[in-house]
Structure 1
Amino acid sequence: MPDNLRTAVDRPDLYDPKINKSYAELATYYSALVDPARAAKPKDKPRVERPMPYVRDSFWSGREFTSVEQMQAEGLTWSAGTAGRRQCRPLGGASPLSVFEAVEAKALLPLPDKPFVLARWSTAAVGPDIHIKVGRTLYSVPWKLIGRKGRRPLHRHHGPGLPRGRAGQDPRRTRPGQAHGQRRLPAG
Structure 2
Amino acid sequence: YEPVLNQSMEDFANHYGTVVVPARSARPKDKSLVENQVKMIYSRVFAPLRNQQFFDIHTLNQAINTCMLKHNQTRMQQKPYCREERFLSAEKSTLDELPSERFELKYYAELKVGNNGHIYLQRNKHYYSVPFTYIGMKVKLIYTRTMVSIYCKGKQIAVHIRSYRENTYTTVAEHLKSEHQAYKKRSHETYLARAREHSPEFHELMQVLFKRARYPEQLYRTCDGLFKLKRDFPVEEFDKACKYVLKNKLYTYYFFKNVLENGIANSEEEPLVKDALPEHVNIRGRAYYASSQPTLCDQSKDGLGAQ
- What range is the shorter-chain TM-score in? 0.7 to 0.9
Q: Which of 130, 142, 145 is the matching residue for 2:131? A: 142
Matched, 1:55 2:45: no
Distance 1:180 1:26, change over 3 A: closer
Q: CA deviation at 1:116?
A: 1.8
Cα distance 1:145–1:77, how it changes in 2: closer, same or farther (>3 A)? same
Selected match of 1:75 from 64, 69, 74: 64
> Structure 1's 162 and 186: CA in aligned 2 closer, same or farther, altered over 3 A?
farther
**Higher RCO (C-alpha under 8 Å, 6+ residues apart):** 1
Question: Would the aligned equivalents of 1:127 and 1:147 in 2 still touch at CA under 8 Å?
Answer: yes
TM-score (norm 1): 0.77
Q: Is the aligned partner of 1:176 residue 2:166?
A: yes
Q: Counterpart in 2 of 1:152?
A: 141
Q: Does the 8 Å contact 1:139/1:170 carry over to 2?
A: no
After TM superposition, give the deviation of residue 153 of structure 1 in Å: 0.8
Displacement of 1:51 in angstroms is 1.9
TM-aligned CA deviation for residue 182 of structure 1: 10
Count of matched residue positions in the alignment of Structure 1 and Structure 2 = 171
Q: Which runs of 5+ in 1 are unaligned?
A: 1-13
Between the aligned partners of 2:145 and 2:71, the Cα distance in structure 1 is 39
Corresponding residue SS for 2:25: coil
Match of 2:24 among 38, 52, 57: 38
Seen in structure 2, the aligned counterparts of structure 1 residues 108 and 170 have a Cα distance that, compared at 3 Å, is: closer
Note the alpha carbon deviations across 1:41-82, whole angstroms, 9 max, x for none. Answer: 1111211211211211221121444333333332222222x2
Match of 1:84 in 2: 72
Farther-moved stretch of structure 1 (106-115 vs 174-183): 174-183
2:106–2:144 Cα contact (<8 Å) kept:
yes
One-letter identity of the residue aligned with 2:34 = V
1:141·1:169 contact (CA, 8 Å) conserved in 2?
no
AA in 2 matched with 1:147: G
Gaps of at least 5 residues in structure 2 are 182-307
Q: Counterparts in 2 of 1:72-151, with a 5 A limit?
A: 72-80=61-69, 82-89=70-77, 92-134=79-121, 135=123, 136-151=125-140
Q: Residue 165 of structure 1 corresponds to which residue in structure 2?
A: 156
| Compared CA separation, residues 125 and 66, structure 1 to 2 (3 A) | farther
| Letter aligned with residue 49 of structure 1 | E
What percent identity do the matched residue pairs reach? 23
Q: How does the TM-score come out when normalised to structure 2?
A: 0.50
